Amino acid sequence: MTSNVIEDTAAMPGMLRAMTRLRNIVDFIGRWGSLFIIPLVLFTMWDVFARKAIWVQIWLVENVSIWFSSTFFQELEWHFHTALFALVLGYGYIHNRHVRVDLLREHMKLRSQAWIEFVGVTFFMIPYTAVIVYFAAVYAHESFLTNEISASLVGLSHRWIIKSVLCFGLISALLSGFAVWLQTYMVLFGPKDLRFDLMTLEWPEDVDNKKLKVDLEEERKTYE
């Protein structure tokens, strides 16, 4: 990053302070949520092993617990996979690790990229994510009221837990959208000489270290 990037949160404009807080929340959720990969791998490994050594699984089910059945571990696998996927959605966005098709965007100037991000987040990501958060919350609430359980006799109960985790992960993704919106707004409409740590964009001088700090006001005139 450039040497004049603002690092002191207290010195940032209000919108950037809000963005930083939102980003920190999403980052915290994503980092802890990524730990679900550990039980997911372990349960998957055990399920594969038990299928090959079926006599071990049969003995455990008959002598230890029915929870060692293949169905139980298969449901645990998709539960932990759902938790992992949901909780890192926002994390992937604020760290610019989500899938992009950059055939055109990567050749555009910073303001053009910022406009694409700003319009996309404003009219697509935030509204769409807000809608699915609502339906995910209804989905989890109805599951809780009906005490939904697995359709299998040896499956998991309390389905509302994993559905609530899905809703929570989508809320985290929504917060990441607000964080990116605030940041792109500051890039487009904030002070032209202000520099801060970007998430989904890169300062022109960071793309090419030989460049001096680009005057965004001049770039704006060129763009227009």
182-194 confidence digits (pLDDT tens): 999 999 998 888 8
Question: Higher model confidence: residue 209 or residue 122?
Answer: 122
- Token digits of residue 150: 């697995």
Stretch 128-152: mean pLDDT? 94
**What is the model's pLDDT at position 10?**
53
pTM of this structure = 0.83
Average pLDDT, the chain: 85
